[in-house]
């Protein structure tokens, strides 16, 4: 009898049946009859499947899958995903309803299994719940790192890294080697983040070490953006059915080794910085550890690690992604590239390289950046918002404990907001264009690549500077063409928290400035 029982316990059919019974039990346990709402109804949405609800309906590219569902069910859509209620906003008006009128209610983040390890148990700024601790971290980051004054203070660092990037690209050109655009960009941006946070360049040159770092960031953001069953059916999180948590844990361990070493090196050089009268972001964070702010809140050493994690992940790959997509679109549309270069030749000339101060006089370059952010937002779906309270939105009842996703990708391609939305047309943002006054900083809900409201990306100003300056620098300094034998630009995507090109953009370059500009 014991042997027969053991055989049954290992039989795959029996195990599958037991697993399905468990899922059915969880589904029935999670069911709640609609609460009486005086005739008020939930937003429309697909009926879904038992247990998993609408999860299988979103497909492998949820930003596109949800956009397709919204075309059928409307811009405010409610889906049952596993045991969780999710409302999706897919138009500018719908986003405004949530992120302006109901901003405070949806300022929290849901607790999701995918984020536990990579955020030091939600101790970073991006995934922390709304409250005094989050406000303190946000204030410290804005004042000392990401605000307009702090960005001006670190302009020389960006200038030096742009010079190093140009030198490396020029060397590749002289050797006849293709340039892999995201690789050179991530190296430069990581070095900028390293210098302003811990006073250290992370990589001496772009190569295997910086490329491995880039791959680690891409894997982390891809894994963290997956629609993980564990996040929507918490009772199954311990099974890690898709292996997402194990993968993210491994990547986080690698990242933590890097951050721990950077912080140890930083502590070892504290006396040198003190003698030189220099302070960086971590110096200012350490000064705030254990010190109560006006709300009686403090930050911890773990919060410092979380903040450094935020800066390296959000501050490198996301900006690189926008620049890469912009370059890809211009290589598909040579007339756009030619117009951008002509503008820079007229304003800057070819005797020197572009400076950040030139950007204000380059409206077409700015328009190219906006159009890339519209058509290829680095974050296609907003990080999930969460409301503990029931509320009304556009005549619908949204239950308590509902997650909110803003489909930034769908909003940027909404035909009711944009003429010919699938075309790359920077002219729409130029004087006289339909979107002349639209900016991407959260004021116009037609274009919200950084989000909007209280949880808008704290690095929006830095992101704009990085994208405009480095895209302009690459365009102004070189002519770009596909390597021989590559007939067209691959425009496929890889979905995650970010939306990089599936095939990194490679190009052969030819210098177009005076030789002294590359020194």
Q: What is the pLDDT of residue 8?
A: 29
Which residues on neighbouring strands pair with residue 81, listed in sequence order?
53, 84
Q: How many CA atoms lie within 13 A of 130 on its CB side?
A: 17
Return binding residues for heme: 457
For residue range 300-321, what is the model confidence (pLDDT) as tens digits?
999 999 999 999 998 888 999 9
| CA atoms of 118 and 217, how far apart (whole Å) | 11
For the beta carbon of residue 395, count every other beta carbon within 10 angstroms.
Answer: 9
Contacts of 37-42 with C-beta under 8 Å, sequence gap 24+, read: 37/397, 40/392, 40/395, 40/396, 40/397, 41/396, 41/397, 42/78, 42/396, 42/397, 42/398, 42/399
Helix 155-175 × helix 181-198 angle, to 10°:
150
H or E stretch covering 274: helix 270-276
Q: What is the pLDDT of residue 289?
A: 85
Q: Which CA distances in Å does 157 have to 150, 151, 194, 307, 326?
A: 12, 10, 10, 20, 24
Contacts of 434 (CB under 8 A, 6+ apart): 419, 428
Q: What is the pLDDT of residue 296?
A: 78
Q: What is the pLDDT of residue 380?
A: 96
Q: What is the pLDDT of residue 484?
A: 84
Task: Name the average pLDDT for the chain.
Answer: 90
Q: Which CA distances in Å does 423 have to 372, 418, 419, 428?
A: 11, 10, 9, 11
| CA atoms of 177 and 372, how far apart (whole Å) | 26
- Measured CA angle at 381 (ends 375, 387), to 5 deg: 145
Q: What is the pLDDT of residue 25?
A: 44
Q: What is the pLDDT of residue 292?
A: 75
Which residues on neighbouring strands pair with residue 407, listed in sequence order?
381
The total number of residues shown for the chain amounts to 519
Contact call for residues 513 and 351 (beta carbons, < 8 A): yes
H or E stretch covering 354: none
Residues of the chain short of pLDDT 50, as ranges, are: 1-39
Q: Which CATH number fits domain 40-518: 3.40.50.1100, 1.10.630.10, 1.25.40.80, 3.40.1190.20?
A: 1.10.630.10
Please report, for the chain, the start and end positions of each structural domain, with discontinuous segments joined by +. 40-518
Q: What is the pLDDT of residue 34?
A: 42
Q: What is the pLDDT of residue 49?
A: 87
C-alpha closest to that of 324 among 161, 188, 440: 188
pTM for the model: 0.91
C-alpha closest to that of 300 among 62, 85, 122, 91: 122
b (16+ CB within 10 A) / e for 119-148: bbebbbbbbbebeebbbbbbebbbebbbbe
Q: What is the pLDDT of residue 114?
A: 87
| CA atoms of 360 and 307, how far apart (whole Å) | 31
| CA atoms of 41 and 19, how far apart (whole Å) | 33
Return binding residues: 457
């Amino acid at each position: 009898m014991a042997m027969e029982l053991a055989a049954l316990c290992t039989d795959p059919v029996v195990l599958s049946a037991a697993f399905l019974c468990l899922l059915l039990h969880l589904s029935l346990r999670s069911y709640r009859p609609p609460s009486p709402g005086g005739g008020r109804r939930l937003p429309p949405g697909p009926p879904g499947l038992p247990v998993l609800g609408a999860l299988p309906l979103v497909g492998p590219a949820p930003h596109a899958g949800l956009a397709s569902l919204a075309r059928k069910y409307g811009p405010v859509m409610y889906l049952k995903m596993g045991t969780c209620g999710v409302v999706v906003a897919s138009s500018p008006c719908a986003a405004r309803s949530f992120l302006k009128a109901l901003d405070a209610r949806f300022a929290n983040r849901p607790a999701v299994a995918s984020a536990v390890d990579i955020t030091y148990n939600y101790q970073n700024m991006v995934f922390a719940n709304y409250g005094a601790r989050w406000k303190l971290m946000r204030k410290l980051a804005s004042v000392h790192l990401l605000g307009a004054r702090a960005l001006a203070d670190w302009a020389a660092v960006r200038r030096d890294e742009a010079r190093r990037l140009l030198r490396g690209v020029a060397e590749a050109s002289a050797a006849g080697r293709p340039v892999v655009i995201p690789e050179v960009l991530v190296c430069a941006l990581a070095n900028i983040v390293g210098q302003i946070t811990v006073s250290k360049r992370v990589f001496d040159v772009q190569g295997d070490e910086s490329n491995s770092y880039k791959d680690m960031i891409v894997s982390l953001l891809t894994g963290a953006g997956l629609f993980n069953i564990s996040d929507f059916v918490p009772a199954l999180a311990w099974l890690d059915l898709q292996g997402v948590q194990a993968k993210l844990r491994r990547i986080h361990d690698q990242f933590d080794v890097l951050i721990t070493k950077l912080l140890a090196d930083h502590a070892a050089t504290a006396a040198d910085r003190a003698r030189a009268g220099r302070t960086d972001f971590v110096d200012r964070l350490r000064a705030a550890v254990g010190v109560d702010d006006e709300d009686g809140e403090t930050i911890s050493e773990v919060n410092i690690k979380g903040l450094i994690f935020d800066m390296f992940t959000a501050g490198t790959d996301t900006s690189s992604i926008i620049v890469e997509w912009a370059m890809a679109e211009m290589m598909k549309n040579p007339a756009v590239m030619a117009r951008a270069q002509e503008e820079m030749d007229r304003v800057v000339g070819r005797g020197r390289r572009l400076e950040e101060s030139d950007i204000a006089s380059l409206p077409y370059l700015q328009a190219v950046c906006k159009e890339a952010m519209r058509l290829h937002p680095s974050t296609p779906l907003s990080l999930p918002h969460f409301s503990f309270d029931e509320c009304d939105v556009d005549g619908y009842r949204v239950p308590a404990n509902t997650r909110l996703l803003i489909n930034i990708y769908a909003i940027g391609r909404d035909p009711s907001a944009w003429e010919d939305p699938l075309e790359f047309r920077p002219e729409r943002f130029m004087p006289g264009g339909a979107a002349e006054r639209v900016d991407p900083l959260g004021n116009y809900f037609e274009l919200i690549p950084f989000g909007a409201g209280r949880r808008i990306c704290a690095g929006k100003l830095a992101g704009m500077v990085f994208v405009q300056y480095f895209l302009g620098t690459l365009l102004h300094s070189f002519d770009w063409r596909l390597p021989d034998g590559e007939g067209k630009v691959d425009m496929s995507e890889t979905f995650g928290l970010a939306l990089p090109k599936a095939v990194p953009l490679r190009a052969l370059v030819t210098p177009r400035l005076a030789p002294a500009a590359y020194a």
